[in-house]
Amino acid sequence: MTAFMLKTVKQAKKLIIGVIGFTVLLTGLAMLVLPGPAFIVMPIGLGILAVEFAWARRLLKKAKSGFDKQKRKFNQSKEAG
């Protein structure tokens, strides 16, 4: 393969992952007002995007840490009460 073809394949992969990831993420966002498991679908979309995009990895990491923080807070209140 030539360098041009290799670059084109990488760009096509990034584009396909971006389209699929954004589609899943936007579906999750729509599920915030429509019936459906929005808080399950949105992280899946971010996970797909995180394969290729650094901003999505950072956002997913921030979302995971926020979820863990809420989980610890819930468990502490459960033990205290």
* pLDDT value at 81 more than 70: no
Ranking 1-10, 33-42, 56-65 by mean pLDDT, the lowest is 1-10
Closest CA to 28 of 12, 47, 15, 53: 47
* pLDDT more than 90, % of the chain: 72
Instruction: Give the pLDDT band of residue 61 (cuts 50, 70, 90).
Output: very high
Q: Is the pTM of this model over 0.85?
A: no
The more confident residue out of 48 and 77 is 48
- Per-residue HEC secondary structure of 54-68 comes to HHHHHHHHHHHHHHH
Instruction: Give the pLDDT band of residue 1 (cuts 50, 70, 90).
Output: low
